[in-house]
A and B are shown apart, each in its own frame.
Chain A
Amino acid sequence: MSAVAAATATQTPPVAVVDTMSGRVRKRLTSRTASIISLLIAVLWTIPTFGLLLSSFRPEREIKTTGWWTAFTNPSFTLENYENVLFGTSSTQLLSYFVNSIVIALPATIFALILCSLAAYALAWIDFKGRNWLFIGIFALQIVPLQMALIPLLQLFSNGAHVGSLTIVPDLNLTGSFVTVWLAHTAFALPLGTYLLHNFISEIPREMVEAARVDGAGHGAIFRKLMLPLITPALASFGIFEFLWVWNDLLVALTFTGGTKDVAPLTVRLAEMAGSRGDRWERLTAGAFVSLIVPLVVFLSLQKYFVRGLLAGGLKG
């Protein structure tokens, strides 16, 4: 939730603390127990992922007959699982789903960024009647779980919209195309995205915008030339959050792609494999890591933006 971001942004680290003899002794004692417990938690939190990663490099027969911890005493590693999973000819081949994930996540993120920043700009800098109410209304829509929208949206995409015999939206038969997933993700991103970018855009000094107005610039020019460069950090944070949100999403993809190889993303395929091929661990371990690699790279390389975006978006969905 954005409240979290607001809370974390304003805090400063405390100054150094007192240093007495007894304090130091006690500190060392407590810090040893502290180290042990924290190490224990860190290990507990890392082992599950590590076990899966290690297993994904073990030969099929070994994965299925021995625990991954035996690989330390009896090492035997291969890239075969990844080869099979990425380029193999079988039905569990994942490369096309990987491509689908990209084809879904990139445009969905960019559409959301564009629409959110436009709306946020209007709500911050264009005067009109009912502006505050509209802002509160968009903000309040965060309250609606996306479960509330799934059934009617799917009906709209497959049957169009009709009031009596009057057709408002024709039967476009969009089900199972990327367009539906893009549209759904963009709509679901709007309340949070508009709100976050509005926070940022409305902080831009009034004099800058007014100076540009006096020079005769219209809102279009101000947005393009003044705002866009200034709000890039906010766009990056929200963009990374939204990209990963879409990349990791299962529910929206499952509902709108119909699970076919042409459009379904990795998450849909993996969830299906975990169900129907629950024992094909040589595929599942490597497959899971193929899907994790993008979030992990983003996490490790853009940690600052990533954490900021994630904290701000805790409520989404």
Chain B
Amino acid sequence: MDFVDWGPKLFNALLAVAVFGAVVGLLLIVVDRAPKRGHEKYQLAVFLLPAIVMLAVGLVIPAVRTTILSFTNAAGDFVGLDNYKWMFTEDEALVTIRNTVIWTVLTPVLATGIGLIYAILIDKAKTEAISKSLVFMPMAISFVGAGIIWKFMYAYRGGENQQIGLVNQLIVWFGGEPKQLLLDPPLNTFLLIVVMVWIQAGFAMVVLSAAIKGIPADIVEAARIDGVTPWSMFWQVTVPSIRGSLIVVLSTITISVLKVFDIVRTMTAGNFDTSVIANEMYSQAFRFREQGRGAALAVFLFVLVIPLVLYQIRVLRQREEAR
């Protein structure tokens, strides 16, 4: 690639930012000199209108149109509930839903559990900061990057060749037979879930670690004077005290799991019975040109997410009122 090509790109991007910034800056100066009549209206328009227009065009109208699209077929004719019927009766779609259920049941519990245990174990340790960084780092990495990292872990060499993937090498060291891990359903879905757990455990750990540090010292001390074992300390003091944070973490991870796309796309592209709703939605809409089916899957995803988000909003409101 030559410099000639990307010089202009960067320049145009900077130009776009500069022009946008200049326009907004200018508007902010001009709006203060707007005529006294309707002054407030001009101000509101400058501050709010851009965001409202963007939201309407980029989110609200498309969401409504997607809902309408979900009742049409690829040609755009109204087909009633056919797409939804397809989703819940055809094998290819049912595998997708089954996988999504496995993902949503396993990932949040595993990631939160590991994050919680780790947070407790490293609490007040000398190496706490660096220990946290190590486990939190996968959160910084893109899902695509994580997908490649783990695809390499699962890599397979056939015949007499040496293994280059650590997982298959471990299988060999323990006397097993190496195999094409990612081509083997239903094992492959669980192997993809490992990647998501690997990413999300850091999130759970950081949030729960903060919550653990917030447990009032006198409660911990009272329990300790009573001579409780670490085990009952965990179940009777720690877990009840951080219940709120635990639920928030579980539901947040559940929401990201429902929308998981990149990992599946990068590692198996949804083949070999590994597809999930978000991936199937993309494939149907943009690869197979079945926009109605894609839209129906998106609507289904939306419906699944609603109760979780509503719950989180409630928790948030309660917290704000309590403050």
Residues of A within 8 A of B (CB): 1-4, 6-8, 10-15, 17-18, 23, 30, 34-35, 37-38, 41-42, 45-49, 51-52, 55, 63-69, 87, 93, 95-96, 99-100, 102-103, 106-107, 110-111, 114-116, 118-119, 121-123, 126-128, 134, 138-145, 147-154, 156, 178, 182-184, 186-188, 190-191, 194, 217-221, 223-224, 244, 247-251, 254-255, 267, 270-271, 274-275, 278, 281, 284-285, 287-288, 291-292, 295-296, 298-300, 303, 306-307, 310-311, 314-315, 317
Contact = CB atoms under 8 A, between A and B. Distances in A.
Interface of B: 1, 5-6, 9-10, 12-13, 16-17, 20-21, 24-25, 27-33, 40, 43-44, 46-48, 50-52, 54-55, 57-63, 65-67, 69, 114, 117-118, 121-122, 125, 131, 133-145, 147-153, 155, 161-166, 169, 198, 201-203, 206-207, 210-211, 213-217, 220-221, 224-225, 230, 244-245, 248-249, 251-252, 255-256, 258-259, 261-262, 265-267, 269, 278, 281-282, 285-286, 291, 294-295, 297-299, 301-302, 305-306, 309-310, 312-313, 315-316, 319-320, 323
A269 to B, nearest CB: 9
B47 A274 contact: no
A99 B29 contact: no
A143 B66 contact: no
9 contacts: A17-B217, A49-B149, A96-B1, A122-B48, A142-B309, A143-B302, A148-B62, A186-B54, A190-B54
Contacts of B141: 49, 248, 292, 295-296
Contacts of A139: 313
Contact of A148 (B122, B134, B298): B298
Contacts, number: 388
B206 to A, nearest CB: 6
Contact of A317 (B122, B165, B259, B282): B259
B21 A110 contact: yes
A18 B225 contact: yes
Contacts of A287: 148
A307 B129 CA distance: 13
B47 A121 contact: yes
A284 B266 contact: no
A151 B316 contact: no
A92 to B, nearest CB: 12
Nearest to A153: B62
Nearest to A39: B131
B142 A114 contact: no
Contacts of A110: 17, 20-21
B206 A48 contact: no
B63 A106 contact: no
A68 B167 CA distance: 12
B13 A103 contact: yes
